[in-house]
Amino acid sequence: MSLISLKDVSFSYEGRIVLSGVSFELSDGDYLCVVGENGAGKSTLLKGLLGLKKPSGGQILFGDGLSNSEIGCLPQQTQTQRDFPASVWEVVLSGCLNRLSFFPFYRRKEKERAEQAMEYLKITGLRKHCYRNLSGGQQQRTLLARALCATSKLLILDEPVSGLDPRAQLELYELVRDLNRKLHITIIMVSHDVRQALPYANKVLHLAHKQLFFGGREEYLETELGKGFLKGGEQ
C-alpha cells in the first residue's frame, strides 16, 4: 500500500491555477527529490502535503495510518528563527507537541524520543547550548532532530542545505540518507542543488507549474528534461 498517493492534484491562489496535473505515489522508504525552477510550485506542493494549502482539484491520500500531524517537516528558516533564544533540548523536544494529545506536559516517552533523535543526528553534546549560538549546520541538525520527533514515517525537507558551507551540506545529506536507509523513513526533499541532492534519491518529481516528470532517478537522468536541467546548473 502506498504511503502517499496524489491523483491529478492542482492548487490555485485567488482563482488562478499555480500548479496542476500532479499525480504520483510513494511507498515506505522512498526518497523523492522535487526539482524545478523558482516559482514552479514546489513549495505549494509541500504546503498541500502538510495540510496548509487545500487542493483546488484532485486528491491527496495517505496510507499506513499516516496523517498530516504525523509528518516531520524541516522548513526554510527565517532570520528570526535562527535567533530563537532556546536550548537545543527545548527546540528538539518541541517536535513532540503533536504527540501530547490531552496531556499538558511532556511524558517520559516524549523525552526518550527526543533523546533518541538527538543521538541519530549526533547533537547530544549540544543539549544545553543555546540554539541561536550554533553554526548553520548545527542548527539544521537540531531542526532535523525536531522533525524526527514528529514522525517515524515521513520527513519533508525544504531546501535543507541552503546557506550551509560545502562540508555541512555533505554531512546533512548523509544524515538524511541514513534516516532513509536505516530507519526506512520516506523522504521528500526540495533542493535547488540538484547535482548534490539527486544521488541520494531513488525518485524524482520535476515541476513547472505542472508535472513534467515523475519516476526513477536513473530514468530521469536519461531524459532530455533531466539532462537539460542538470546542465543549467543553477537548480
Structural domains of the chain, with CATH: 1-66+154-235 (3.40.50.300), 77-152 (no CATH)
Q: What's the pLDDT at 177?
A: 96
Query: Phi then psi for 21, rounded to 5 degrees?
Result: 65, 30
| Full strand arrangement of the beta sheet holding 211-216 | 71-74, 154-158, 186-190, 31-35, 203-207, 211-216
Q: What's the pLDDT at 235?
A: 40
Q: How many residues does the chain have?
A: 235
The reply to whether the predicted model has a pTM over 0.85 is yes
Angstrom distance (rounded) from CA 31 to CA 199 = 10
Return per-residue pLDDT of the chain as tens, 235 residues.
689 999 999 999 988 999 999 999 999 999 999 999 888 999 999 999 999 999 999 999 998 778 777 899 998 876 667 777 899 999 999 998 876 665 667 788 889 999 999 999 999 999 999 999 999 999 999 999 999 999 989 999 999 998 899 999 999 999 999 999 999 999 999 988 888 999 999 999 999 999 999 999 999 999 999 999 988 754 4
Angstrom distance (rounded) from CA 1 to CA 65 = 11
